[in-house]
Amino acid sequence: MDYTVTHATRFEYQGPVSESQMEVRLTPRHDERQTVQEFEITTNPAASILGYVDAFGNDVRHFNIIAPHSELVVRTRARIRTSPARQLPERLEPDTWSVLKGLRDNGELWDFFEPSPRVPFSPAVRALAAALDIEGHADPLTCTRRIVSAVHAAFVYTPDSTTVDTPLDTVLDERRGVCQDFTHAALAFLRLHGIPARYVSGYLAPSSESSQQNVTSHAWIEAWLPGLEWVAFDPTHDSAAGERHISVAVGSDYGDAAPTRGLFRGGPAGRLSVFVQIERDGAVSLGEMHWGPPALAENAPPAIMQSDQ
Amino acid sequence: MSDGEVAPAIFANYTHGRSYDEMFEKADKHRPHYDGIHHRLCSLPLEQWRERQHAADLAFVTHGITFTVYGRSEGVERIFPFDLLPRLVTAAEWHVVERGLTQRITALNHFLHDVYHDGRIFAAGIVPRRLVRECRHFRREMIGVSVPHDSYLTVVGTDLVRGPDGRFVVLEDNLRVPSGVSYMLGNRQVVKQVYPQLFERYHVRPIDHYPRMLLAHLREIAPAGCVDPKIVLLTPGVFNSAYYEHTFLAHEMAIDLVEGRDLLVHDNTVYARTTAGLERVDVIYRRVDDDYLDPLTFESKSTLGVAGLFNAYRAGHVTIANAVGTGVADDKAVYAYVPAMIRFYLSEDPILDNVQTYLLDNPADRAYVLDHLAELVVKPVGESGGYGMLVGPHSTAQQRSEMRDCILANPRNYIAQPTIALSTAPCLVDDGVEPRHVDLRPYVLCGRSITVVPGGLTRVALQRGSLVVNSSQGGGSKDTWVLGA
Amino acid sequence: MLSRVADNLYWMRRYVERADQIARVVRVNMDLAFDRAPLEVVQLWGRLLSGLWSAPAWAQVTRESPTDALSDLTNIDAVASCVAAARENARQIRQHITGEMWDRLNGVHLALNDPARRAEWAQRPHGFFQTVREAAALFDAAIADGLARDEAWHFLQLGQFLERSASTARLLECQLRAPVPANESDRLLDEQLEWICLLRACDALELYRHRHRTELRPDHIVRFLIADQLSPRSIRYGFDRITETLAALAEAVPAQPAIVVGSALTDAVRVLEARDGPAVEAVCAIQGECDRIHRMLRATYIDHQQTVAPVANEGAAWITR
C-alpha cells in the first residue's frame, strides 16, 4: 500500500527560548517490508538539518537553533510503500528456544533480551507475567502470539490515561494505557521469557472503512525469532503488523525511538502538539493530538547569583 | 652501612615482614640505590626531619596544591598527606615497567576499537561479548564511531604493585578520568626543594614537563585538517574534588578551563563563548564522566555537559579525550582478560602480569571465592576510589556476610583477588622511620605515540598495616624517583 | 576570555562596591542617630535607604529603632548578602583572581556570618564598619597590585565604576527630590546636615572640603559630585575611567564593536553650568546611561547571540490549525 505521511510537531514555549537542540526519529524505515520513495523535513525557524544513523539503525536527523524563538515546528513528509502482512508459520520447532538461549549467552541482541529503562523486570512485572500464565514451553513464535494476546486482554486502551513518562509499574497497577504502554508490557513479558524483542514506533494508517479515525503515532513490537528474524505484532490490536503499520524507528524501548527529543535554554516548558496526516488513494484523514508537558527537558544554566538591580 | 653494625635509632621500629621492602633487602641491609637516602636518614636528627616534613606540608599550602572542599559556607583547603621520603625505582626496573605499560595500553586501544567495530576478539571466543555488553560503561553510541588515529586513550593511570618477589604487577587500569597528576607534580616540586643535591646525584628523571607533553598529545589527536587546534579542559566545576588539578593543568598548558555552560554546539561544531564571540573548539580534554557529557545523548538532567556534543564528536568535528566509552576496558572483570588481549592483538606475551583474578560471574570462581572470603579482596567492577570493597583479612564476619549477599545478588558486579602483600617503603612517622604499604600509579600519555611518564604517584597507606592507599580513604603519597641509568 | 569569567569578574567587583556602599550608608545613619530626635533620623534614614539598590533584606529594615540598627541584623544581612554574592562569583573563577583577593573576600564573608562577631557588633557597631571598609579597601589593593592590566582587569574596573557612578547618581537624585518645606522652621534637619550626610554616604566629604573648603553650598556639592574631574568619588571621574576602560577593552577584543559612552554626563554638566532646569533629570539621565552601558557590555561581550545567517528551508509550508 502506498501512503503519504505528513507529520508536524509544534513546540510552543511560554516565553522565548534559545539554543535549542533537537533530534528527531521521523524517517520511515527502509527495509524488506517497507520502502521510502521520498522524505522531506523542514523546520521553522529554519536550521541546518544534519543526520546520522544510530546504533539501532534509525535515521536520525538533528538540528539546533541559537536565536530566541517562542515556537518551533518540525514538519516531515514521506511517501512510503508497505507490504502486505507477512505469512508466518503456525509454529516453530521447540528447539528454537535453545537457539535463542545461545544467542543470549553469547551477548547477541543484548539490547533486546535485557531490561531497559522503561522496561524493567520489576517485581510487579514478574508477578503479572506469572499471573498471566503464559505457557513458555511452546515454541517462541506461539509464545510470542500468546503474550501479545494476553497483553491485549489484560489492559484497557484508554487514550490520555498515561504520559510518555508513566512508569510501567503504574500501568500494570491500573491495567490501562496507550499503545506505548501495551508495547512496553509486551516487551517485558517477551524478554522475561527469553525472547528478544524491540520497540517499534511508527504510524497506523486508518483502514479504508473508517476515514474519520484519529491518526496518531503508534507503537508495537518486533520479536526476533530464528529463521524468521524480526516479526512484528501489535499488542494494542492483538494482531500481526500488516500493511497499515508504517514503521519509523526501533529501539529497546520508547526512549530509544522517541519521535522527537530535545533541550532548550531558558524559560518554562510549554506545549507540545502533534499533527499527523496520512493520505492513501486520495482519501484524507486528519488527526490531532495534544500532549501535556512536552518530551523536552529544560536545560537552564546553573544559578549564579546575579542581579540586574 | 655494612652488615653487623647496629641499626641507627631512626630505624628502631622498622619491622620486616613478608612484603618486599623498597629500601631494605633484609634487616640492616639496605638496597644499594638507597645509599644516599639511608645516609641522610642516619645523619640527620629526627627533629630536623620532622621540621622538614612540616615545611613540606606548608609548601603545599603555599603553592596551593590543596584538596579543596568547597562547602556552601566554608572554603576549607586540605592537603593530600605527603611523606617526605622519596620512593626509588631503578632504571632497569623502570625499563620493564615502561615497555610493559606501552604494550598494555597499545593492546587496550586495539580492544576498544574492536569492541566498537568488528568485535574480532568476541568472534575468536577470547573475551565473552556478553561480559562487555553488560558493562555499565559500554556506550552503544560509540559503535562505528571513528576517533583520530584510533586513539581512544589519551591519559591513562595504571596502578601497579610490587609483590614479594620484587616484580611489578598490574592491579588495575584507569581509563576514564584518571586523576592525581597534580599531586605527582606537587610532590616533585616540594621534594626538589628538600633534597636538591641528592636529586641531582641520583639523576632523577624529570616529570615537570608533563603539562607540555599532555598538550602535545592533545594536539596530535585534533580533528584532521586542524592547523592550530583550540584545546580546552572541561571541568565539572568548583564542587569537584579534583578541581584544583583541573585549574592547575589548564594553567600550565595555557588552555581555557571551561565548564559545560561555556560551550555551545552549533551545526555540529563546538564553540566556546568568549568575549570575542564564539570560538571554535577542536579538542576537549574532559574531566567529566561520559554520563554527564551531553544531555541530549546521555543523562538528560546533566547540567555539566553540552547538548549536542556527542553528535559533533561522532561527525569528527571535535575530539574528546579520553574517548567516550573507554570504561568498558577498565571494568575490573574485563581487566582479567587483558593478558589475553595482548596476545590476541599483538601476538606477544605480556611483559607485566595481572594479579590473579576470580570472576564471580563464573560459577567455579564464585564457589571458590565464597569459601575463601577471609583471604581475598573483593571489589565491585565499576567503582574506583576503593569503595564497596572487602579486604578479607581485615574484615569482620558481618562484613563478609554482607558481601556474600551482594555477590549472590549480582555476581557479575564483583571480582576477587588474592591479598597481595604490597611492597613497603620507609615513611617518616612520629618516632622515626617505619615501613608502610605502597603502590605506584604511573601516568601514560597517548596520542599518535605513547609516552610513559617516568615515575608517577606512589600512594601510601598511612596507617600501619593498612593496605588501602586511595586518597579518598586516608591514603597519602610520595614522590617517585626513577633513577637515571 | 570566556564570557562567563568576564561576567563573574564584573559582578564580583560590583557586589563588593555595593557592600561597601551599603555599610557606609548604615554608618552615616548610625552616627546621625546619636544626636537627633528619632523621627528626624528616621526620615533621613528612609531617604538614604531608598537611594540604594534593593538588597534582599531591605524590605525588612525596621525604622523604629535606628540606634539599634545593628542589632537589627537585617542591616548586616544586606551587606552580607552582597558579600556572599561577590564571593560566589569569585569562587567560580578562583584561578583568575589572586590568592589574596580570595582571602579578603572569604575572610569578610566568614566574619559577617559569624554569630560571635555579630553579637559584638551589636554592642560596638564601628567594628562592623571597619571590617567592611577594610575588606573592601584591601580587596581593591589586591587587585591594584596583583593583577595584570588585561581583559580581566578591564571588567573589574567597569564593575567598580559603573556601580559607584550609578550609586552616587541615585543618592544625589534622592537628595534632590527631597521636598523643600515652605518654612525653614518646618525643616526637620539642618539643611547643611542633609548635604553632609549625602557627601559622607558617597565617601566624598573630605574630598569636597579639600576642593571647596568648609563652605557647603548645595549647588557646589551637586556640581562637585557630578563634574569634578579630579576627585575619585565624582561621577565624572567614574565616567572618565569607564571611557578609558571601554576603549582599552575594545582594543583588547577587536572582534567586537566598541562601546561608546553617551552624552548624559556632558549634558548634565551643561545643565549645571547654564543653571538650565533642574538637575534631577540630568542625574536620572546619568543613571540611565550607566544602565545602558551595563546592558551594552552584556550584549557585546557576555550574552552575544551568534550571528550566523539562518539557513533557508525550501518550500516550507507551515501547518495552521
**Which of B63, B182, B274 to probe by mutation at the C interface, max C CB count within 10 Å?**
B274
More confident residue, A204 or B179: A204
Pair C152, C298 in one domain:
yes
Residue A67, pLDDT > 60, answer yes
pLDDT band at A292 (very low <50, low <70, confident <90, very high): very low
Least confident of B220-234, B465-479, C91-105, C114-128: B465-479
DSSP assignment of B312-323, as one string? HHHTTSSEEESP
Specify the range with the lowest mean pLDDT, choosing from A40-49, A262-271, B151-160, C104-113: A262-271
Tell me, yes or no, whether C174 and C220 share the same domain. Answer: yes
Hey, where are the domains in chain B? 89-184+201-348+440-482, 357-418
Mean of the pLDDT values across residues A241-250?
A: 95
Mutation site for A-interface testing, chosen from B311, B317, B362, B412 by largest number of A Cβ within 10 Å: B311
Q: What is the pLDDT of residue C314?
A: 29
Share of chain A above pLDDT 90, in %: 68
- Which segment of A123-137, B126-140, B357-371 scores lowest on mean pLDDT? A123-137
Flag whether C310 is in a domain. no
B chain contacts of residue C89, beta-carbon cutoff 8 Å: none
In this structure, of A284-298, B130-144, B307-321, B418-432, the range with the lowest mean pLDDT score is A284-298
In-domain check, residue C183: no
Closest Cβ opposite residue A64 in set B141, B267, B295: B267
Q: Closest approach of chain A CAs to the CA of C305, in angstroms?
A: 7
Specify the pLDDT at position C48.
Answer: 61
Mean pLDDT of chain A: 86
B236 touches chain A (CB under 8 A): no
Tell me whether A299 touches chain B (CB under 8 Å).
yes
C54 compared with A137, residue with greater pLDDT: A137
Distances C168 to A230, B307, C31, C236 between C-alpha atoms, Å? 76, 43, 20, 11
Of C53, C84, C306, nearest to A66 by CB-CB distance is: C306
Residue B412 has what pLDDT?
Answer: 87
Q: How confident is the model at residue A105 (pLDDT cuts 50, 70, 90)?
A: very high
CB neighbourhood size of C81 (10 A): 22
**The pLDDT of residue A301:** 26
Residue B469 has pLDDT above 90, yes or no: no
Which has the minimum average pLDDT: B43-47, B252-256, B368-372, C224-228? Answer: B43-47
Q: What is the CA radius of gyration of chain C?
A: 22
In a domain, C321, yes or no: no
Q: Specify whether C139 is located in the same domain as C9.
A: yes
For A:45-104, CB contacts with B below 8 A are 48, 50, 52, 54-55, 62, 64, 66, 104
Count Cβ atoms within 10 A of the Cβ of residue B63 and give its class: 0-12 exposed, 13-18 middle, 19 or more buried.
middle
Largest CA distance in chain C: 79
CB contact under 8 A, C306 and B278: yes
Same domain, C116 and C174: no
CATH top class, domain A96-257 = alpha beta
- Give the model confidence (pLDDT) of C145-192 as tens digits: 999 999 999 999 999 999 999 999 988 888 888 777 777 766 656 778
pLDDT for position B205: 95
What single DSSP character describes residue B308?
Answer: T
- Name the one residue in this structure whose C-alpha cell is 551595563: C294
Confidence of residue A306 (pLDDT cuts 50, 70, 90): very low
Chain A residue with minimal CA distance to B302? A299
Q: Average per-residue pLDDT in chain B?
A: 90
Q: What percent of chain B has pLDDT over 90?
A: 65
Please state, in angstroms and rounded to a whole number, the distance separating the CA atoms of residues B150 and B113.
7
Q: What pLDDT, on the 0 to 100 scale, is given for residue B75?
A: 52
Nearest in space to B147 (alpha carbons), one of B103, B105, B107, B110: B110
CA distance B86 to B77: 24
What integer pLDDT is reported at residue C34 of this predicted model? 66
- The pLDDT tens digits of the residues spanning C269-283 come to 888 888 766 788 899
Amino acid type, B263: L
CA distance C309 to B122: 48
First to last CA, chain C: 47
Instruction: Tell me whether residue C195 is in a domain.
Output: yes
Nearest in space to C86 (alpha carbons), one of C44, C46, C55: C55
Could you give the number of structural domains in chain C?
2
Query: Which member of A66, A108, A261 has the closest CB to residue B266?
Result: A66
**Chain C residues within an 8 Å CB radius of B272:** 2
What CATH number does the domain located at B357-418 have? Answer: 3.30.1490.270
Q: Where is average pLDDT lowest: A264-273, B71-80, B86-95, B103-112?
A: B71-80
Cell of A241: 503488523
Q: How many other β-carbons are positioned within 10 Å of the β-carbon of residue B373?
A: 20
pTM attached to this predicted model: 0.88
Condensed to tens digits (0 to 9), the pLDDT of residues C1-44 reads: 999 999 999 999 999 999 999 889 888 877 776 666 666 666 66
Cβ of C3 within 8 Å of Cβ of B262? The answer is yes
- Residues B289-306 as b or e (16 or more Cβ within 10 Å = b): bbbbbbbbbbebebbbbb
Instruction: Answer whether residue C316 is part of any domain.
Output: no
Residue C83, in any domain of the structure: yes
Of C99, C253, C302, the CB nearest to B64: C99
Q: Which of A21, A54, A107 sits opposite B308 (nearest CB)?
A: A21
Residue A182 has pLDDT above 60, yes or no: yes
**pLDDT tens per residue across span A110-142:** 999 999 999 999 999 999 999 887 766 789 999
Distance, C-alpha A281 to centroid of its chain: 26
Asked if the model's pLDDT at residue C52 lies above 90, the reply is no
Runs of H (alpha helix) within C147-278: 151-177, 191-201, 205-212, 218-227, 235-252, 264-274
What pLDDT, on the 0 to 100 scale, is given for residue A255?
A: 93
Are the Cβ atoms of A64 and B132 closer than 8 angstroms? no
Task: Give a yes or no: residue C49 inside a domain.
Answer: yes
Q: State how far the alpha carbon of B232 is from the alpha carbons of B21, B143, B272, B390, B405, in Å.
A: 42, 25, 9, 39, 45
How far lies C82's CA from each of A184, C53, C55, C57, C132, in Å?
52, 11, 8, 10, 11
Percentage of chain C modeled with pLDDT above 70 = 79
Range of the domain at C112: 1-147
Q: Answer whether B284's CB lies under 8 Å from B318's CB.
A: yes
Per-residue pLDDT of B11-33, as tens digits, reads 888 888 889 999 999 888 999 99
Q: What is the model's pLDDT at position C38?
A: 61
Residue B120: per-residue pLDDT: 98
- Residues A46, C316: C-beta atoms closer than 8 Å: yes
Fold of A2-82+259-298: Immunoglobulin-like (2.60.40)
Output the average pLDDT for chain C: 81
Whether ipTM exceeds 0.95: no
What would the mean pLDDT of C133-137 be, rounded to a whole number?
96
Structural domain spans, chain A: 2-82+259-298, 96-257
Report the 10 Å Cβ neighbour count for A52.
18
| CB-CB under 8 Å, A64 with B266 | yes
B261: contact with C, CB 8 A cutoff: yes
CB count in 10 Å sphere of residue B100:
21
- Which has more confidence, C26 or B458? B458
Question: Does B372 lie at the interface with C, CB-CB under 8 angstroms?
Answer: no
B431 or A63: which leads in pLDDT: A63
B166-174 mean pLDDT: 93
**Contact C228/C237 with Cβ under 8 angstroms?**
yes
State residue A185's pLDDT score: 97
C308/B266 CB distance under 8 A? yes
Q: Examine the pLDDT at B478 and tell me if it is beyond 80.
A: yes
Average pLDDT over residues A71-94: 92
Confirm whether C307 is domain-assigned.
no
> Which residues of chain C are within 8 Å of residue A46 when distances are taken between CB atoms?
310-313, 316
